[in-house]
Amino acid sequence: MVTLTLGKRWEEKMNEIANLKVAKHELKEEINELRTELENCKKRAEDAEFSNQETQILYKTVCEELASYKKDNSDKTKNILKYQQDTTNQSIAIEQLRSSLSSLQLKLDEISNSNTLKDKLISDLKEEIQIGDRVRAKLEQERDHWQEEHEKKCREVELITKSRDHCEKHIAILVKDKDRLLSRREEPSTVLSQKHAYYDYVESQQLPEPKPNNSWGNVENLRLKNLLDEEKKLNKEKEQQIEKLQKENWNLINRLRNKK
């Protein structure tokens, strides 16, 4: 826009200068014509030797017109000089404006380059923002996932804690039962000890198999042998139960240790 305005003003001034030159040329032609006419008048006046009044009046008129033309010519010359000075000043101003325009063009180029760089930076920034949004979305997903995992682990810990408390109670009960069974096993009654000793003795004697219609002793031996078998079976069941309880106790203890 600045370039178009300056170009238009420059064209207008050049047109004014051209018009002034044409006017100056026309004035010169008119002056030359007037001079020629004056010379002719002088010549006619000299030829007529100012013989009549009309010639003098004409000469006076011509002189006045010539003076008027000279004045007009002087004024126009001054105007032309003024216009030339103005044109010179305007040319200087135009050169300054051109210089300013060149500086502005350089600044515009710099601004354009900076705008290009800014657009590139904005594009890069938008791309980084998109990457950041994707990373943030991924982090939020991971955060939600780990939050769910944390809540799940908290529930598992709570469940394990409850299970541990339950196991500890169960272990305490099992320990009491074990202690009770062990105390019962380690402190048999005197009668039971005598029975065991007797049973062991009877077994060591390898009593013969009872026969039908035997004596009372054979019947008693058979009864005692049955009692011995039942007692052995009962003792074996108790030992198996104790071993099972001990194994469960150790398994529970190991599970609690692993969970801790």
Mean pLDDT score, 81-94: 81
Query: For 111-138, what is each residue's pLDDT tens digit?
Result: 888 888 888 888 888 888 888 788 778 8
Please give the model's pTM, rounded to 2 decimal places: 0.29
Longest Cα–Cα distance of the chain, Å, equals 217
Q: Residue 68 domain-assigned?
A: yes
Task: Please check whether residues 193 and 128 belong to one and the same domain.
Answer: no
CA distances from 130 to 34, 77, 124, 125, 135 (A): 88, 75, 10, 8, 9
Task: Please check whether residues 102 and 203 belong to one and the same domain.
Answer: no
Q: How far apart are CA 80 and CA 86, in angstroms?
A: 9
Within 13 Å of residue 71, how many CA atoms lie on the same side as its CB?
6
How many domains is the chain built from?
A: 2
Q: Residue 182 domain-assigned?
A: no
Helices (H) then strands (E): counts for the chain: 4, 0
Contact present, 228 and 203 (Cβ < 8 Å): yes
The neighbour count for residue 83, using CB atoms within 10 Å, is 20
- Which of residues 135, 152, 170 is at a domain's end? 135
Mean pLDDT score, 80-88: 80
Q: Residue 179 domain-assigned?
A: no
Task: Please check whether residues 89 and 8 belong to one and the same domain.
Answer: yes
Task: Please check whether residues 87 and 197 belong to one and the same domain.
Answer: no
Within 13 Å of residue 158, how many CA atoms lie on the same side as its CB?
6
* φ/ψ (deg, to 5) at 49: 55, 40
Task: Please check whether residues 42 and 103 belong to one and the same domain.
Answer: yes
Task: Please check whether residues 127 and 31 belong to one and the same domain.
Answer: yes
Task: Please check whether residues 10 and 103 belong to one and the same domain.
Answer: yes
pLDDT at residue 193 greater than cutoff 60? no
Burial code (b: 16+ CB inside 10 Å, e: under 16) for 107-119 equals: eeeeeeeeeeeee
pLDDT band at 191 (very low <50, low <70, confident <90, very high): very low
Contact present, 45 and 59 (Cβ < 8 Å): yes
Task: Please check whether residues 126 and 17 belong to one and the same domain.
Answer: yes
- Side chain identity at 139, as an amino acid letter? L
Task: Please check whether residues 127 and 7 belong to one and the same domain.
Answer: yes
Mean pLDDT for the chain overall: 73
Task: Please check whether residues 129 and 221 belong to one and the same domain.
Answer: no
CA distances from 200 to 187, 216, 217, 232 (A): 18, 21, 18, 10
The domain in which residue 246 lies consists of 188-259
The DSSP secondary-structure symbol of 187 reads: S
Contact present, 246 and 178 (Cβ < 8 Å): yes
Task: Please check whether residues 130 and 15 belong to one and the same domain.
Answer: yes
Q: Which comes out higher in pLDDT, residue 163 or 235?
A: 235
Task: Please check whether residues 37 and 99 belong to one and the same domain.
Answer: yes
Q: How far apart are CA 259 and CA 61, in angstroms?
A: 137
